[in-house]
Amino acid sequence: MRPEHPIVLITGASSGFGEAMARLLASQGCHLALGARRVERVQALADELGKAHGVKVFAGAVDTRHTASVDTFVTEAAAALGGLHVLVANAGLASGTFKMWETPDEDLEAMMRTNVEGVVKTVRAGLPHLRKAGWGHVFFIGSTAGHQPYEGGSVYCASKFGVKAMAQSLRLELNGEQIRVTSVDPGMAETEFSNVRLKDEDKAKAVYQGVKPLTAFDVAECVRWCLMLPDHVNIDEILVKCVDQASVHKLHRRA
């Protein structure tokens, strides 16, 4: 059964969805293992949350593209906290808005290695600890781009379709074990996502102009709700968008 204070590992925890999840789950009494490439930011977050909520928080550097980095982070986190119950494979990014034939190798590899390979490596490293605990929950952070492709997003969409497939496959593979699998798939959400993708602050701001998008805490609340449900309940997938976004291609903008 779900422990009173689950131990939750989150990748990409230095900002955006990952930071919001850390803040919300710490307030619920969860112990945390927070990983990111920007280790100074994630360490500061860990110190803050530990003091504010009296929970145990481990912070470490992790680059989910690299197997050794993931394995080291997961091993050290489990040792420091006494195990793991929940994995949130949150680290991900979009890079550029290229047509498929224009996509540079740098952007192609960044998205596929982080969004697909990084998720596999995170689950592969963390799953033995969930099995040892006898109860677990794996969260994939997908996207509406994994449900409906769009122009200029071929590689990013392919990576998020891959996340959806991995979540569905893992759920089948773990059937019979007390490990839940959930994919949370947000639409437009205002985080650092567009800054990273467009590499231009003004262009990033324009993405959200006239729209009230999701916040990182809206997405974090989806994770919290799924996690806190009774043990026999598994939410397979949450497709969540702001009211202004009817689909990938239909968005209401106010003047």
Q: Which residues are catalytic?
A: 156
Cα–Cα distance for residue pair 16/19, rounded to 1 Å: 6
Per-residue burial over 119-137, b = 16 or more CB atoms within 10 Å of its CB, e = otherwise? bbbbbebbbebbeebebbb
State how far the Cα of 192 lies from the Cα of 252, in Å rounded to an integer.
Answer: 22
Considering only CA atoms, which of 2, 91, 8, 89 is closest in space to residue 56? 8
Give the per-residue SS3 of 107-171.
HHHHHHHHHHHHHHHHHHHHHHHHHHHCCEEEEEECCHHHCCCCCCCHHHHHHHHHHHHHHHHHH
C-alpha distances (whole Å) from 199 to each of 90, 94, 204, 210 are 21, 11, 8, 21
Q: Quick count: other Cβ atoms within 10 Å of Cβ 42?
A: 27
Q: Are 55 and 30 in contact (CB under 8 A)?
A: yes
The single-letter DSSP state of residue 37 is S
The answer to whether residues 99 and 153 touch, using CB atoms and an 8 Å cutoff, is no
CA distance 255 to 203: 18
Q: Which two tokens stand for residue 236?
A: 């397979």
Separation CA 251–CA 40 (nearest Å): 37
